């Protein structure tokens, strides 16, 4: 093993000691760490820079303790209720614990009903960098036993989501996967790229283009936040819209645009 590999092992180990990054996939920490180590040249500075990056793209969305075991018990109880409203309200409460997913809650009833109105029932979904969004499955126009594949970088989050998906009528799997390394996978009817592109582009400027190249889907729902995590709105919608149209230029999609109070969404359909 070369010296740089040993230094990277130390970097990953040191970052995973922090409770905040304990469950982040080691391969992902390693690939972010490698870039920072090349830039900074020493371990201490690279550890600090890697933590900052992980905060920006993942940690900042998880403001508190994730009580996955408690939530699974509550979800299991909710699925036993004859009233489907009980499951929905339990999902809403849990979705509050991921800031990006939380921001969608005030518009959740309209979000999937509007953007996916002409697609349902959908038989297969790929949810890229999903956060807690799979808990919104009860709001999506899915076929019974639809396939639902979800990826994120938190080991504990994907284990929770996999168990949750076993409780609702989908054939679901959530996996730890660094979507910056996503290669063309199985074909799906719908891919969700919700508020993912600006986040991933903080690590790799080409992330949006690469994902659009790699995803094999009839339709892709892409969205952008209408304000920053700090609440700043000025010019964000116009900025994201302009860069999005540049990104899809020449790809020949049919495009539908939807603007909600907290999110700007585009449904792309392959012609």
Distance CA 165, CA 171 (A): 7
Q: Is 179 in the site for ligand SAM (CB under 6 A)?
A: yes
CB-based contacts of 246: which residues, under 8 Å, 6+ apart? none
Minimum Å gap between C-beta 47 and ligand SAM is: 18
CA separation (Å) from 5 to 2, 31, 38, 40, 54? 5, 11, 12, 16, 20
Minimum Å gap between C-beta 102 and ligand SAM is: 8
CB-based contacts of 142: which residues, under 8 Å, 6+ apart? 120, 121, 122, 123, 125, 148, 170
Q: Is 57 in the site for ligand SAM (CB under 6 A)?
A: yes
Binding-site string for ligand SAM from residue 91 to residue 110, where x marks contact by CB under 6 A and - marks none: ---------xx---------
Residue nearest to ligand SAM (CB): 131
CB nearer ligand SAM, residue 94 or residue 153: 153
Q: Is 200 in the site for ligand SAM (CB under 6 A)?
A: yes
> Binding ligand SAM by CB under 6 A: which of 125, 142, 174, 178?
178
Q: Starting at the edge strand that comes first in sequence, how are the strands of the sheet with 170-176 ordered?
A: 170-176, 142-152, 122-128, 188-194, 217-225, 263-270, 253-259
Q: Is 54 in the site for ligand SAM (CB under 6 A)?
A: no
CB nearer ligand SAM, residue 73 or residue 239: 239
Q: Is 115 in the site for ligand SAM (CB under 6 A)?
A: no
Taking the alpha carbons at both ends of the chain, their separation in whole angstroms is 49
Minimum Å gap between C-beta 129 and ligand SAM is: 3
């Amino acid at each position: 093993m070369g010296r740089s590999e040993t230094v990277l092992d130390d970097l990953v180990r040191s970052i995973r000691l922090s409770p905040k990054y304990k469950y982040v996939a080691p391969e992902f920490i390693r690939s972010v760490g490698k870039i920072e180590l090349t830039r900074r040249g020493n371990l201490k500075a690279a550890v600090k820079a890697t933590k900052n990056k992980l905060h920006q793209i993942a940690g900042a969305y998880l403001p508190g303790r994730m009580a996955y075991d408690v939530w699974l018990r509550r979800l299991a109880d909710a699925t036993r209720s004859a009233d489907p409203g009980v499951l929905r309200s339990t999902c809403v409460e849990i979705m509050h614990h991921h800031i990006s997913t939380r921001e969608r809650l005030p518009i959740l009833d309209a979000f999937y009903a509007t953007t996916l109105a002409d697609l349902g029932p959908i038989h297969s979904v790929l949810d890229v960098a999903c956060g807690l969004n799979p808990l919104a499955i009860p709001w999506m126009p899915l076929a019974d036993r639809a396939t639902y594949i979800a990826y994120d970088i938190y080991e504990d989050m994907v284990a929770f989501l996999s168990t949750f998906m076993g409780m609702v009528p989908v054939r679901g799997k959530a996996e730890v996967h660094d979507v910056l390394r996503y290669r063309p996978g199985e074909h799906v009817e719908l891919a969700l790229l919700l508020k993912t592109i600006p986040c991933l582009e903080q690590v790799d400027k080409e992330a949006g283009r690469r994902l659009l190249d790699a995803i094999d889907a009839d339709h892709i729902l892409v969205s952008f936040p209408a304000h920053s995590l700090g609440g700043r709105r000025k010019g964000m919608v116009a900025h994201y819209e302009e860069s999005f149209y540049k990104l899809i230029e020449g790809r020949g999609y049919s495009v539908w645009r939807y603007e909600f109070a907290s999110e700007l969404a585009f449904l792309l359909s392959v012609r």
